[in-house]
């Protein structure tokens, strides 16, 4: 029951890779990854929690080992990715889950919960922004791209897709960079460096502007459904600030905050402690 499995399932004609572990009789955690990673980012957390939870970590189209259709054959935007993951949820017959959302997992997860709030048991937010106050100066190349998608601005934004950009996301703000597995960085970069993938990622970076436009809708939804929420946040994140994390407390009453002295990927340094915080939280909040 506690074996970790690496699977694929067909959704809308695409092969969606996912990791699954734990007894299906236990509470389900749906792990939604961020950029530029994949379900691989949850490798430690899955092993930390698989004895007590049923864990499902899908990889989005265009990322990791899932299908990567060409841009002319697939609309790479957050609306479409959320539809794919919603249908993935239904394909696996998941009726209720705690959503853990990191980075891009936020825009994807929030869209699903706008349509299907009944799927949610509890909410865990890890460096996934939903407030304009959380945006930082490090995202200026993206702001410029959103304002004017010129060749020059696309080149500047594309720096985020280089090995230096990926290292920046992992190392900047970390307490001890020696705790961060180089394999995480180079795995992400391997998939970014595939032919056509940088165009796919630039398309999504440009589409992210539409997420900012609907932040207020997500905030209203959170205030309406009032999920028990755990905030896990690398407080030195160069893209999504601690101020943005704290803003969730203005809309959600039952909320718990845990900040870590690290950057955008807190699981790389602190997965053991984070797993304990998640287990403590869910043990109190889930009614079985």
Residues 30 and 88 sit within 8 Å (Cβ to Cβ): no
User: CA 272, CA 269: separation in Å to the nearest integer?
Assistant: 8
C-alpha to C-alpha distances, 82 to 78, 105, 251, nearest whole angstrom? 6, 9, 23
Q: Which long-range contacts (CB under 8 A, 24 or more apart) does 184-191 make?
A: 184/37, 184/40, 184/41, 184/265, 184/268, 187/38, 187/40, 188/36, 188/37, 188/38, 188/40, 189/36, 189/163, 191/36, 191/38, 191/63, 191/64
Here the tokens at position 78 are: 């957050």
Q: Is 11 helix (H, G, I), strand (E, B) or coil?
A: strand
Q: Is 142 helix (H, G, I), strand (E, B) or coil?
A: helix
CB atoms within 10 A of CB 65: 17
Going by C-alpha positions, the residue among 35, 108, 26 that lies closest to residue 99 is 108
So which residues are the catalytic ones?
A: 264
Residues 235 and 260 sit within 8 Å (Cβ to Cβ): yes
**For 237, how many CA atoms within 13 A lie in the half-sphere containing its CB?**
27
Sheet strands (E) in 14-151: 14-21, 28-32, 54-58, 97-102, 120-126
Going by C-alpha positions, the residue among 127, 94, 96, 92 that lies closest to residue 231 is 127
């Amino acid at each position: 029951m506690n074996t970790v499995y690496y699977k694929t399932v067909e959704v809308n004609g695409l092969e969606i890779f996912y990791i699954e572990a734990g007894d299906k009789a236990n509470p389900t955690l749906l792990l939604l990854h961020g950029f530029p990673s994949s379900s691989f980012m949850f490798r430690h957390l899955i092993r930390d929690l698989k004895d007590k939870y049923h864990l499902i970590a899908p990889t989005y189209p265009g990322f990791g080992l899932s299908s990567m259709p060409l841009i002319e054959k697939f609309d790479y935007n957050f609306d479409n990715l959320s539809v794919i993951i919603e249908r993935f949820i239904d394909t696996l017959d998941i009726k209720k889950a705690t959503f853990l959302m990191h980075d891009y997992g936020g825009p994807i997860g929030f869209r699903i919960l706008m349509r299907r709030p009944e799927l949610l048991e509890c909410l865990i937010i890890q460096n996934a922004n939903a407030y304009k106050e959380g945006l930082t100066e490090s995202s200026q190349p993206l702001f410029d791209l959103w304002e004017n998608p010129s060749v020059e601005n696309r080149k500047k934004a594309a720096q985020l897709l280089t090995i230096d950009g990926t290292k920046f996301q992992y190392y900047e703000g970390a307490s001890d960079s020696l705790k961060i597995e180089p394999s995480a960085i180079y795995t992400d970069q391997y998939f970014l460096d595939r032919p056509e993938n940088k165009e796919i990622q630039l398309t999504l970076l440009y589409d992210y502007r539409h997420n900012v436009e609907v932040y207020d809708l997500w905030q209203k939804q959170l205030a309406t459904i009032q999920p028990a929420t755990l905030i896990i946040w690398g407080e030195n994140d160069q893209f999504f600030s601690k101020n943005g994390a704290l803003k969730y407390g203005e809309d959600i009453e039952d909320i718990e905050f845990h900040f870590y002295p690290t950057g955008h990927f807190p699981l790389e340094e602190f997965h053991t402690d984070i797993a304990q915080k998640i287990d403590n939280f869910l043990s109190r909040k889930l009614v079985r």
